[in-house]
Amino acid sequence: MRAYPYDLDRARKKLQSIKRNIVVWSSTSAAGAGASGCTGEGRGSMPGMDNAFVKFSGVQKTYDGETLVVKNLNLDIARGEFLTMLGPSGSGKTTTLMMLAGFEAPTHGSLLLDGHSIDNVPPHKRDIGMVFQNYALFPHMTVEENLAFPLKVRKLGKLEIEARIKRVLDVVRLGAYGKRRPGQLSGGQQQRVALARALIFDPKLVLMDEPLGALDKQLREQMQLEIKHIHEDLGVTVVYVTHDQSEALTMSDRIAVFNEGAIQQLAAPAELYERPRNAFVAQFIGENNRLHGKVVAMNGATCKVEIAGAANVQALAINVEAGRPTVLSLRPERVRLNPMPGSLPNVFSAQIAEVIYLGDHVRIRASVCGQDDFVIKLPNSEGVAQVEPGAAIAIGWKTEDCRALDAQ
Amino acid sequence: MATMAVQIAGSPDDIPLRTKLQRVERRRKLRAVSLVLPLLLFILIAFVLPIGRMIFNAIHDDTLLRLMPRTMAALNAWDGKDLPDETVYAALVGDLKQASAQKTAGAIAKRMNYELPGALSEVMSSARKASALSAGLYKEALIEINPFWGRHDAWSLLKRGRSAYTAFYLLRSVDYQYGPDSQIVTSPPENAIFRDIFLRTLGISIGVTAATLLLGFPVAYLLATLPPRSRNLLMILVVLPFWTSSLMRTIAWVVLLQDRGLVNDTLIALHVISQPAELIFNRVGTIVAMTHIQLPLTLLPIYSVMKTISPSLVRAARSLGAGPFYAFWKVYFPLTLPGIAAGCLLTFILCLGYYITPALVGGPADQMIGSFVAYYTNEDLNWGMASALGAILLSATLLLYYVFNKLVGADPIKVG
Ligand SMILES: Nc1ncnc2c1ncn2[C@@H]1O[C@H](COP(=O)(O)OP(=O)(O)O)[C@@H](O)[C@H]1O
Ligand SMILES: [Mg+2]
């Protein structure tokens, strides 16, 4: 069954092929420095973004004609923004990126880059830099030859090419490695070469598909900051793909959380963590206690939830209705021990099962409301010493910290 | 260091660590050797010894030394200028009598005939008549019986026979031979065929290698880029020829390409040609049939290399601004070079030794060096020539392989 016919819209004439704007490196660095200012306003999908630099409208993709790998994607990306697509493996992130790069054609919908449709523009004319997960450096060329490749294609002069290579090698701090082949570099160095190669021709847009996936943790964290700084310095628009939430939180202006081919939530990192819109996002970003219950009463912005047939919890109503099952999401660090009586609306007793000492903080696993994988995170300060496994203590949390979400 | 030494010395059984390690290593090595021993023996018996023997045969020939001992001894004193003196002729008569009695005259005659065409009948008749000679002036008598013994080049040949080693076969294989005074001269035109044949062998091998590369490369590319299911089907088609005997395949080409064969009939029926084209028993047929047999051998190494080339490399090139052809030529193609080199080398070296296929579908002018080796081995029973041709082919092959390894071994691709 072919549920989603091809869009006739795709046949409409190509508006204008993308002009190659080859600007000298320094000129873009200066011009783009102030462009990444859309950080704070990331609420929802920004439907009315007029100056959208990249625009996905109604994009769908199926490989086999049966399942949609990308379902009706609408996404606007601002000029100079660092947007991350975050989601579990198989959620359609790479597919989305490949459609933007031109290696996969959308089954439906259309893509705009800088105001022009790119549906009929082949990949090499899109002027989009790309960093691949395995770096995709050309093994038979030296670092310099790799870097010169996009410049030679663009028929730049020899001197100009040399000057740019020197500059970009300095940016990624690989000045001494120009004559080496990729096989003679460490993973981190290869990664920097790949980055330099994607940036050297001053693309308007840079795509990165899990570029740090193959590096060890320490190097990954260092590279995250480096990429972030390069982005800030050059002002280039970046679309970044990762399945690592801490990476996404560290680097992004906005994060699009993907699951099963659809964006679950599109927001700035803090917003995503503080105010997840559904149970998937709450679960995927950061740690999260899940309490299953049923909404017994709605009360404006809050609701009353019954858990395990007994306790009543006051929670923020996000996407629930009265009488329906719900999942309460509560961050472990928002749980208070031994609250003052009357100070919190939600107070329950907890049976402590395990106390794990982690230096800067202490993790407590406890049984709360019949659920025995309830986690409490406490900063390592005075009160911690009194918590012993087996003890029963009172815990509590604020209504605002507890979000009643869809029970999926 | 000191504590360590103490610890080692103080270990319970007092055996130094190094000795223990050696013991363990020795056991491991023994096991490894015993595993490869059968193959090693096989290669030694079936490969190294015969080839060594062949190379030896190319330079070793003691026929004259063995069968004409008296003459050979007497010739030691000959200065090689005029005809030898009476004692040498006396020795020759003695040898000829013995040869006649022991029926070895044929071997002597044949050996001499290699270097002096026509010597066969002269020597045979002399051997027969020599038994009638009794003491006296053998020199005049022999020359009287047969003027052959008055020829200076015949005596030069016999003098060379004093050594069990001869360069004659090797010289002959590259169109040189000994002149009347044992100097090296180019062969007369009727004998000077081998350089042409070596060049022809080389030419046909290069042609077939190029044809398999041109035909095989696109198929290998297709195989490497197809989704697994269609790939398997195509792969079966590619290796299918392996499952049929190459003799059958060659004969199938005869059926297809002969004057009243499928191809000619079709072309005539379509009025493309009016007379049957000569497609077989010539160079065309030879190259077509050999290309067919060699195609998978060129293709498979290329395919196996292509399979390891990540598709993201070409994508990276495209994203960097290269058009499809440029990306292929600058990124994909250079990475396939090791496969191309391996496949072409395999096919080229195998082609050098082809024998049956040219014999079946080639004309007289398409026979390769293998046919001549077979001819000398099976029909002429001239093992010296067969060995010399074989040895030269082998050394040419090794030389090519060495040069190739130098070129490809130094290739930067291997570093990447
Ligand atoms: N070339 C392809 N052909 C068929 N199915 C594909 C192809 N690429 C990806 N898929 C499928 O599409 C889904 C999404 O894949 P992908 O976009 O790679 O996800 P992600 O990058 O988020 O891990 C997966 O189920 C995957 O199996
Ligand atoms: Mg992916």
A135 and A45 part of one domain? yes
Number of residues written out for chain B: 416
**Nearest residue by C-alpha to atom 1 in ligand 1:** A63
Q: Which helix (H) or strand (E) holds B128?
A: helix B119-130
Q: What's at A315, amino acid-wise?
A: A
Mean pLDDT for A394-408 is 89
B319, B330, B335 ranked by CB distance to A139: nearest: B335
Q: What is the mean pLDDT of chain A?
A: 85
Q: What is the number of the ligand 1 atom nearest to the C-alpha of A64?
A: 4
- The total of structural domains in chain A comes to 2
pLDDT bucket at A51, cuts 50 / 70 / 90: confident
- A220-248 residue pLDDT tens: 999 999 999 999 998 999 999 999 999 99
Indicate which CATH number applies to the domain containing A173: 3.40.50.300
Q: Which two tokens stand for residue B105?
A: 């005259």
Helix, strand or coil for residue A404? Answer: strand
- A156/A199 same-domain check: yes
Residue in A348, A295, A353 with CA at minimum distance from that of residue A324: A295
When CB atoms are compared, the residue of B316, B330, B335 closest to A130 is B316
Range of the domain at A44: 37-274
Q: Which of A274, A306, A336 represents a domain boundary (last residue)?
A: A274
Residue A63 sits at the chain B interface (C-beta within 8 Å): no
Residue type, B316: A
Cβ-contact B309, B332 below 8 angstroms: yes
Nearest CA in chain A to B411: A140
Based on the fold, state whether residues A253 and A326 are members of the same structural domain: no
| CA pair distance A133, B312, nearest whole angstrom | 9
Is the pLDDT confidence value at A29 over 60? Answer: no
Q: How far apart are CA A361 and CA A335, in angstroms?
A: 13
CA distances from B293 to A36, A137, A211, B178, B289 (A): 63, 38, 46, 41, 6
Any domain includes A11: no
- Specify whether the CB–CB gap between A101 and A207 falls below 8 A: yes
Q: With beta carbons less than 8 A apart as the criterion, state whether B318 and B396 touch.
A: no
**Is B305:B338 a contact under the CB 8 Å cutoff?**
yes
B339-370 pLDDT, tens digit per residue, is 999 999 999 999 999 998 999 999 999 999 99
Q: How far apart are CA A96 and CA A265, in angstroms?
A: 16
CA R_g for chain B: 32
What residues contact A157, with CB distance under 8 A and at least 6 apart? none
pLDDT at A27 over 50: no
How close A35 gets to chain B, by Cα (Å)?
24
Same domain, B244 and B279: yes
Interface touch B310/A134, C-beta < 8 Å: yes
Q: Identify the burial level of A26 via C-beta atoms within 10 angstroms of its C-beta, where 0-12 means exposed, 13-18 middle and 19 or more buried.
A: exposed
Which range of residues forms the domain containing residue B257? 194-408
Q: Where do we find the tokens 């013994």?
A: B149
Coil vs helix vs strand at A347: strand
Question: Quick one: average pLDDT of A207-211?
Answer: 94
Question: The dihedral of CA A90, A93, A97, A100: what is its sign?
Answer: positive
- Mind listing the pLDDT tens digit for each residue in A165-189? 999 999 888 999 999 999 999 999 9
pLDDT at B181: 87
In terms of domains, do B228 and B346 share one?
yes
3-state SS class at B192:
coil
The domain tally of chain B equals 3
Q: Within its chain, how far is the Cα of A65 from the centroid?
A: 28
Q: Is B413 among the domain residues?
A: no
Give the A window 95-134 contacts with B, CB below 8 Å. Answer: 101-103, 122-130, 132-134
Kindly report the protein residue whose alpha carbon is nearest to atom 7 of ligand 1. A63
Q: What's the pLDDT tens digit per position in A59-104?
A: 999 999 999 999 999 999 999 999 999 999 999 999 999 999 999 9
How far CA A8 is from CA of A11, A55, A82, B29, B214, in Å, comes to 6, 19, 32, 71, 41
Helix (H) or strand (E) holding A108: strand A108-113
Task: Answer yes or no: is pLDDT of A4 > 90.
Answer: no
Sign of the alpha-carbon torsion through B392, B394, B395, B397? positive
Q: What is the SS3 assignment for B166?
A: coil
Q: Residue B318, CB half-sphere, CA atoms under 13 Å: how many?
A: 19
- Domain membership flag for residue A30: no
Q: Domain for residue A255, yes or no? A: yes
Residues on chain B bordering chain A, Cβ-to-Cβ distance under 8 angstroms: 310, 312-313, 315-324, 326-327, 330-331, 334-335, 412-413, 415-416
Return the closest-CA partner of residue A145 out of B324, B337, B410, B334: B334
Residues A252 and A303 both lie in one domain = no
The whole-angstrom distance between residue B257's C-alpha and the CA centroid of its chain comes to 29
Indicate whether B34 and B156 sit together in one domain.
no
pLDDT above 80 for A381: no
- The span from the CA of A399 to the CA of A405, in Å, is 13
Measure the CA angle with vertex B327, ends B324 and B332; round to 5°.
120
ipTM over 0.95: no
User: CB of A404 within 8 A of CB of A317?
Assistant: yes
Amino acid at A75: L
How far apart (Å, rounded) are the C-alpha atoms in residues B63 and B169?
14
Instruction: Give the whole-angstrom CA distance, residue A28 versus residue A24.
Output: 7
Q: Nearest 5 degrees, angle CA B402-CA B408-CA B409?
A: 75
Which token pair is A156? 């730049």
- Please tell me the distance between residue A104's alpha carbon and the centre of ligand 2 in angstroms: 14
Distances (CA, A) of B53 to A101, B40, B50, B174: 65, 18, 5, 21
Whether residues A312 and A232 fall in one domain: no
pLDDT per residue over A92-117, tens digit each?
999 999 999 999 999 999 999 999 99
| Separation CA A299–CA B393 (nearest Å) | 96
Q: State yes or no: pLDDT of A37 exceeds 70.
A: no
What's residue B401's pLDDT? 87
CA dist., res. B377 & res. A346, Å (int): 103
Q: Is the Cβ pair A150, B320 closer than 8 Å?
A: yes
DSSP secondary structure code for residue B49 in this structure: H
Quote the CA–CA distance of A167 and A80 in Å, as a whole number: 21
Give the pLDDT of residue A340: 85
Ligand 2 centre to CA of A174 (Å) is 28
Predicted confidence at residue A109, as pLDDT, reads 95
Residues with CB under 6 A from ligand 1: A 63, 69, 87, 89-95
The answer on B359 and B371 residing in a single domain is: yes
d(CA A366, CA A143) in angstroms, rounded, equals 54
| Chain B residues lying within 8 Å of A133, measured CB to CB | 312
A255/A340 same-domain check: no
Q: Which two tokens stand for residue B186?
A: 């180019």
Give the strand order in the sheet containing A128-131.
Answer: A128-131, A205-209, A237-242, A82-86, A254-259, A262-267
Q: Does B183 fall in a domain?
A: no
**In terms of DSSP H, where are the helices of A93-241?**
93-101, 143-153, 158-171, 187-199, 217-234
Do B53 and B70 belong to one domain? no
Residue at A23 is within a domain: no
Cα–Cα dist B410/B408, whole Å:
5
Residue pair A355/A362 in contact (Cβ under 8 Å)? The answer is: yes
Q: What is the pLDDT of residues A112-151, one digit of tens each?
A: 999 999 999 999 999 999 999 889 999 999 999 999 999 9
A322–B contact, CB cutoff 8 A: no
Per-residue pLDDT tens listing for chain B (416 residues): 444 444 544 455 678 889 988 998 999 999 999 999 999 999 999 999 999 999 999 999 999 999 999 999 999 989 888 889 899 999 999 999 999 999 999 999 999 999 999 999 999 999 988 888 877 788 888 898 899 999 999 999 999 999 999 999 999 999 999 998 889 999 999 889 999 999 999 999 999 999 999 999 999 999 999 998 999 999 998 888 788 888 888 889 999 999 888 999 999 999 999 988 888 899 999 999 999 999 999 999 999 999 999 999 999 999 999 999 999 999 999 999 989 999 999 999 999 999 989 999 999 999 999 999 999 999 989 999 999 999 999 999 999 888 888 887 655 444 33
The answer to whether residues B323 and B254 belong to one domain is yes
Q: Are residues B48 and B95 in the same domain?
A: no
Same domain, A331 and A211: no
End position of a domain, from candidates B162, B178, B208: B162
Q: How confident is the model at residue A12, as a pLDDT?
A: 31
Residues A245 and A114 in one domain: yes
Give strand ranges (E) for A272-335: 289-299, 302-307, 311-317, 325-330
Q: Are A242 and A330 in the same domain?
A: no
Q: Are residues A121 and A246 in the same domain?
A: yes
Is the pLDDT at A47 greater than 50? The verdict is no
- Rounded to whole angstroms, the Cα distance separating B249 from B244 reads 7
Please report which helix (H) or strand (E) contains residue A259, including its range.
strand A254-259
How many CB atoms within 10 Å of residue B251?
14
Beta carbons within 10 angstroms of residue B62's beta carbon: 15
Q: Is B397 left (phi over 0), alpha (psi -120 to 50) or beta?
A: alpha
Q: Are residues B82 and B149 in the same domain?
A: yes
Does B202 lie in the same domain as B95? no
Q: How far apart are CA A193 and CA A182, in angstroms?
A: 8
What does residue B378 show for φ and ψ, rounded to 5 degrees? -95, -35
Q: Are residues B250 and B383 in the same domain?
A: yes
CATH of the domain at A336: 2.40.50.100
Q: Residues A270, A324: one domain?
A: no
Where is the domain boundary, A215, A249, A274? A274
> How do residues A271-315 score in pLDDT, each as one tens digit?
999 999 999 999 999 899 999 999 988 988 899 998 876 778 889
Please tell me the predicted confidence (pLDDT) of residue B410: 52
Nearest one of A99, A12, A3 to A56, comparing CA atoms: A99
> b/e string for A112-145 if b means 16 or more Cβ within 10 A?
bbbeebbbebebbbbbbbbbbbbbbbbbbbbbbb
Same domain, B55 and B76: no
Q: What's B278's DSSP letter?
A: -
- Closest residue by Cα to atom 3, ligand 1, is A63
CA A50 to chain centre: 23
Q: Which two tokens stand for residue A184?
A: 């003679």
